[in-house]
Amino acid sequence: MCAIAAPEVFGSDDYGNAIVLIEGDLPAELEAKARHAEGNCPERAITIEE
């Protein structure tokens, strides 16, 4: 789900488990997409830290 909402930020491993593609801080231009992914994660597994 997160990989659909924010494909620049999230991907999946060979098992289809979600992984974060970006190291370090989230670029400002991707924040909106990442927030969308956070708000739609059905398992509430995403937290964006300030």
Partner 1 sequence: MSVTDPLTDYDIFDRDYVLDPFPVQEAIRESGCPIAHTERWGGSWLPTRYEDVVALAQEYETFTSRQILVTAPPPQQAEGAYAGVAAPPISSDPPEHHWHRRLILPFFAPQAVAKYEEGTRDLCNQLIDRFVESGEGDAAADYAQQIPVRVIATMLGVPTDLSDTFTGWVRGVLEAGLTDPKIRLESRMKILDYFKEQIEDRKANPRENDLITTLLNSEVDGQKVPEEYVHGVCNLMLVAGVDTTWSAIGASLWHLAQHPEHRRQLRENPDLWPMAIEELLRAYAPVTMARLVDHDVEFQGCPMKAGDRVLMAFPAANRDPRQFENPDEVILDREHNRHVAFGAGIHRCAGSNLARLELRVALQTWLARIPEFELVDPESVTWAGGQVRGPRICKVRF
The binding site for partner 1 (CB under 8 A) comprises 1, 3-5, 12-17, 36, 39-44
Report in angstroms how near the CB of residue 49 gets to partner 1 at its nearest: 20
CA distance 40 to 1: 8
Report in angstroms how near the CB of residue 33 gets to partner 1 at its nearest: 11
Of 24, 12, 23, 28, the closest CA to residue 3 belongs to 12
User: Both tokens of residue 22?
Assistant: 């970006």
User: Both tokens of residue 5?
Assistant: 């909402």
Nearer residue to partner 1 within complex by CB, 25 or 47: 47
Report in angstroms how near the CB of residue 16 gets to partner 1 at its nearest: 4
